[in-house]
Amino acid sequence: MPRRNRSPQRQRRLPAAAPMSPPPSPPPPPPAPDDLHYRTGIMGWFARIFAPMRDARDPYDQTLVLPALITIIIMNLNHVRGFPDWTVSAAIIGTALMSGAWLGAALGIAGGFRAMLRSISVGAIETAIAFLSYGKLERPAIVAYQLIFLNFFFFWIIHHIVGALRDIALTTERG
């Protein structure tokens, strides 16, 4: 076996690597709302929660797609796997409360008309899927009305409660 020469002069030289730039620094956090009236206490805590949600604007997927999807999954489990009937009602009411609170926190009371339309849309999607998954129902008009009304009622009530709390917590000193 021939012996290799391992001297540094004989080794093949690689081209010099391009100088690496340092990784980009993370973006700075958004500025804290410094003009808020409430900065301390429980209202200051609410203001710190609601300010990023206000800046994120309309949570479309979380308030239209997600509640309908959760309710559809529960309906399917009820129909196929034999989940109790109360789980469907709990899913409808729970997702309506969650979505209404989320929309109220993001848009405040001013988003009331959007909350109303969103709740009716979610109820209509749930009604269509209920008809598809359960087949023929005895009184389809009453089932459709109940699903849409349940969504509307709970969505609307919690939207106004959270929206009013958000509007008060995000009161500014500018007037």
DSSP state string for the chain = -PPPP--TTTSPPPPPPPPPPPPPPPPPPPPP-TTBS--SHHHHHHHHHHHHHHHH---HIIIIIHHHHHHHHHHHHHHHT---THHHHHHHHHHHHHHHHHHHHHH-GGGHHHHHHHHHHHHHHHHHHHHHHH-S-S-HHHHHHHHHHHHHHHHHHHHHHHHHHHHHHT-BTT-
pLDDT digits 0-9 by tens, 88-109: 889 989 999 999 998 888 888 8
pLDDT exceeds cutoff 70 at 154: yes
pTM of the complete model beyond 0.85:
no
